């Protein structure tokens, strides 16, 4: 593309804003549109666990999941929930999703994910370097916390995937766990420590700060709702919004879990669902954590953030429209109390959001047909981590017509 052309990026979450910055740094005119302000609390980029996870190469679907999931659903202490009336709507997606729960597909997915997450810490730093957004980034270890060695060894398959991606943990056991992290409750006796990870001290404020960087470098942001895409001879000429038409030469669809209708209109039917997730922030916490943690027994992450300690996790299927459920939040509270019995705090903030979940756990990155609209959505559990890399890949696709990285795992056509 020529640098005198205009590109509209739809969606101001981490994926959209990162893409907009890299496109603009390539020299073209970029307009970002979103129905909310960048970093707003209905976007998934606001409420995530904040962890930048280069070792995030293991999808939720793994071998054995099909036989285990009915028991998980019925177990009140397992963080998998289903709003049963939603099941008929979920079923077609669920069948496709579970068809990947085997060793061969899991290894294939893992290789794809490693492209997006492998250099994530550097990607975030290079996006934010020398700007006010940099202050929200922190270096840290990321520790998988286990009750005992048997539980750790039961996860050998996923650590094998991580090892294949060059991510090898340092294992700490027994009293050494409390020497590493004095705040950790006694129910944890083993930590698998992944080095050179990172986190964001306030994901919402980070996205807002990156949006300001984009504006300060010449970009324009408009708060509008996108309703449609105008095509001429099958190629985009503009977007239709609730406040009128915006002409453009190309567009990026970075609307997270809300991407399905516009992608479908452009001829690509992506099996995309909401994996609802929750967080609780414990304000003015009595403890100071050294690192970020994945509490493997409860499958939630713990991150020391600006506003307090954020505990985030749970997978709930129930669609985009239903309000937050009580059950997941109660379970999260119970589990936090179990792992960190000494935690005191002045108050809490609760949140529910939507992970954009494709049926094969890989994001969709690439042009939708030959429409001039490029997809950048479907990042599941790793969108904060992979947003900046995705943005760079899309900028290369648009400005250079290709990438020297194999993007076939993310091909929008793969579902057709
Ligand atoms: C509980 C939880 C914990 C998580 N923890 C982590 C973690 O620790 N690390 C990690 O890497 N990832 C994590 N994730 C995943 C991560 O948050 C997501 O993958 C990521 O935020 C997706 O970003 P996005 O930019 O694609 O979507 P979003 O942030 O949702 O942005 C999409 C934007 O599109 C806008 N939009 C949609 N439709 C329209 C329209 N028609 N017109 C205008 N605007 C529109 C929305 O308003 C929104 O701002 C977690 C997710 C959850 C729910």
Number of domains in the chain: 1
Residue 145 bridge partners (DSSP): 191, 295
Separation of alpha carbons 13 and 16, rounded Å: 5
The pair of structure tokens assigned to 401 is 């017509």
Domain-located, residue 243: no
Domain-located, residue 401: no
Is residue 3 scored above 90 in pLDDT? no
What's the pLDDT at 2?
A: 77
Q: What is the mean pLDDT of residues 232-258?
A: 98
What's the pLDDT at 278?
A: 98
Of all residues in the chain, what percent carry a pLDDT higher than 70?
A: 100
Nearest CA to ligand 1 atom 4: 48
Q: What is the mean pLDDT of residues 387-394?
A: 98
* Ligand 1 atom with the shortest distance to the CA of 51: 8
> What separation in Å is there between the alpha carbon of 340 and the centre of ligand 1?
28
> What separation in Å is there between the alpha carbon of 384 and the centre of ligand 1?
8
Please give the mean pLDDT across all residues of the chain: 97
* Ligand 1 atom with the shortest distance to the CA of 38: 49
Domain-located, residue 220: no
Find tokens 């609760």 and name the residue.
Answer: 350
Q: What is the mean pLDDT of residues 49-64?
A: 96
Is residue 136 scored above 90 in pLDDT? yes
Domain-located, residue 285: yes
Domain-located, residue 107: no
Is residue 409 scored above 80 in pLDDT? yes
In this structure, are strands 29-34 and 6-10 parallel, antiparallel, or unpaired? parallel
Separation of alpha carbons 174 and 178, rounded Å: 8
**Could you please report the per-residue DSSP string of 78-120?**
SSEEE-GGGHHHHHHHHHHHHTT-SHHHHHHHHHHHHHHHTTH
Range(s) of the domain holding residue 283: 56-82+136-196+272-356
CATH number reported for the structural domain that contains residue 142 in this entry: 3.30.9.10
Q: How many residues does the chain have?
A: 416
> Residue 278: which H helix or E strand, with range?
strand 272-283
Nearest CA to ligand 1 atom 26: 256
* Ligand 1 atom with the shortest distance to the CA of 377: 26
Nearest CA to ligand 1 atom 3: 48
What's the pLDDT at 359?
A: 98
Domain-located, residue 255: no
**Could you please report the per-residue DSSP string of 334-368?**
HHHHHH-TT---SEEEEEEEEEEEETTS--EEEES
Give the confidence band of 4 by pLDDT, cuts at 50, 70, 90: confident
Is residue 311 scored above 80 in pLDDT? yes
What's the pLDDT at 189?
A: 98
What's the pLDDT at 69?
A: 87
In a mutational test of the pocket of ligand 1, which residue from 20, 31, 48 has the highest number of ligand atoms less than 8 Å from its CB?
A: 48
**Could you please report the per-residue DSSP string of 291-309?**
SEEEETTTTEEEEEETTEE
Tell me which residues have their CB closer than 6 angstroms to ligand 1. Answer: 10-16, 33-36, 43-45, 48-51, 53, 225-226, 254-256, 258, 277-279, 301, 312, 353, 355-356, 377, 379-385
Domain-located, residue 31: no
Domain-located, residue 67: yes
Q: How far is CA 66 from CA 72, 96, 97, 102, in A?
A: 10, 12, 10, 9
* Ligand 1 atom with the shortest distance to the CA of 276: 53
Give the confidence band of 247 by pLDDT, cuts at 50, 70, 90: very high
Nearest CA to ligand 1 atom 37: 255
Residues 6+ apart with CB under 8 A from 191: 143, 144, 145, 146, 171, 172, 173, 177, 180, 181, 184
Q: Are 278 and 313 contacting, i.e. CB atoms less than 8 angstroms apart? A: yes
> What separation in Å is there between the alpha carbon of 322 and the centre of ligand 1?
17
What's the pLDDT at 416?
A: 82
What's the pLDDT at 1?
A: 76
Give the confidence band of 383 by pLDDT, cuts at 50, 70, 90: very high
> What separation in Å is there between the alpha carbon of 14 and the centre of ligand 1?
7
């Amino acid at each position: 593309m020529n640098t005198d052309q205009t590109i509209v990026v739809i969606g101001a979450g981490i994926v959209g804003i990162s893409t907009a910055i890299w496109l603009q740094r390539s020299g073209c005119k970029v307009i970002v549109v979103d129905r909310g302000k960048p970093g707003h609390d209905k976007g998934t980029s606001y409420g995530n666990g904040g962890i930048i996870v280069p070792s995030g190469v293991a999808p939720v679907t793994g071998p054995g999941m099909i036989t285990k999931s009915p028991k998980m659903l019925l177990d009140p202490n397992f963080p998998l929930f289903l709003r049963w009336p939603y099941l008929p709507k979920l079923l077609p997606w669920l069948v496709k999703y579970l068809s990947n729960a085997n060793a061969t597909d899991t290894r294939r997915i893992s290789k794809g994910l490693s492209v997006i997450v492998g250099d994530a810490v550097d990607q975030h730093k290079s996006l934010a370097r020398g700007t006010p957004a940099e202050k929200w980034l922190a270096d840290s270890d990321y520790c998988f916390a286990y009750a005992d060695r048997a539980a750790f060894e039961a996860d050998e398959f996923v650590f094998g995937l991580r090892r294949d991606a060059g991510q090898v943990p340092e294992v700490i056991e027994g009293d050494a766990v409390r020497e590493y992290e004095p705040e950790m409750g006694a129910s944890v006796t083993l930590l698998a420590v992944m080095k050179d990870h990172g986190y964001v001290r306030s994901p919402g404020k980070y996205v807002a700060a990156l949006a300001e960087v984009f504006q300060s470098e010449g970009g324009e942001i408009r708060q509008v709702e996108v309703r449609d895409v105008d095509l001429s001879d099958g190629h985009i000429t503009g977007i239709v919004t609730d406040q009128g038409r915006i002409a453009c030469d190309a567009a990026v669809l970075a609307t997270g879990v809300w991407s399905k209708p516009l992608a479908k209109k452009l001829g690509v039917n992506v099996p995309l669902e909401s994996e609802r997730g929750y967080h609780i922030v414990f304000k003015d916490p009595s403890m100071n954590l050294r690192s970020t943690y994945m509490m493997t027994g409860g499958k939630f992450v713990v991150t020391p953030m600006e506003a307090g300690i954020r505990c985030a996790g749970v997978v709930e299927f129930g669609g985009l429209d239903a309000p937050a459920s009580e059950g997941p939040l109660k379970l999260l509270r119970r589990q936090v109390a179990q792992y960190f019995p000494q935690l005191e705090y002045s108050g809490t903030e609760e949140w529910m959001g939507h992970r954009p979940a494709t049926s094969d756990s890989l994001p969709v990155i690439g042009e939708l047909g030959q429409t001039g609209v490029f997809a950048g959505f479907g990042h599941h559990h790793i969108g904060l981590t992979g947003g900046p890399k995705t943005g760079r890949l899309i900028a290369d696709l648009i400005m250079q017509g290709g990438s020297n990285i194999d993007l076939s795992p993310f091909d929008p056509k793969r579902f057709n």
